[in-house]
Amino acid sequence: MYQNILMAYNGTVEGRAALLASEKLADFADRQLHLLAVASMPSSMFLTEGFVPEELIDTEKTRMQAILDEGLAVLKGRHLRCTGHLAVGEPVEEIARLARELRCDLIVVGHKRSAGWARWWQGSISRNLVDHAPCSVLITLCE
């Protein structure tokens, strides 16, 4: 079945739920887990010249590295083989890129349902990822 799993992890409640789902999948066989944290910059962070100051990027990378280390500790504490990856960019693009690069056969992401304006305004990484993923996507719901 699934042997090479990419877990997108951001430290949120939804991300933790997806992390536990990945952990349960990995318990069934000797599988390779890849944990990805993406340091992304919201468009509101861009200056009028179209770039983000390096210190903001560094701060976000440091924050996401700490979140990645937390997730790795959980998985490795359960004796699972897991490799951490830190990327900078748009989450959907980076998740799909790394899944292609690693030849993953499953991507796991967490998702919290939103309604009305929140769904329209925020968009959905999970929904957009399904359109760009090179493999199956498991979306774990967190209420």
Q: For residue 73, what is the domain's CATH number?
A: 3.40.50.620
Of the pLDDT bands very low, low, confident and very high (cuts 50, 70, 90), residue 43 is low
Q: What is the mean pLDDT of residues 125-137?
A: 84
Of the pLDDT bands very low, low, confident and very high (cuts 50, 70, 90), residue 104 is very high
pLDDT at 117 over 50: no
Please provide the DSSP assignment of 58-109 as one string.
HHHHHHHHHHHHHHHHHHHHTT--EEEEEEES-HHHHHHHHHHHHT-SEEEE
Least confident interval from 5-9, 20-24, 49-53, 130-134: 49-53
Query: Structurally, how many domains does the chain consist of?
Result: 1
* Residue-level pLDDT at 75: 84
What is the span of the domain harbouring residue 58? 4-141
Give the largest CA-CA distance in the chain: 50
* Residue-level pLDDT at 76: 85
Which pTM does this prediction carry? 0.81
For residue range 74-101, list pLDDT tens digits in order: 888 888 888 999 999 888 999 999 999 9
* Residue-level pLDDT at 98: 97
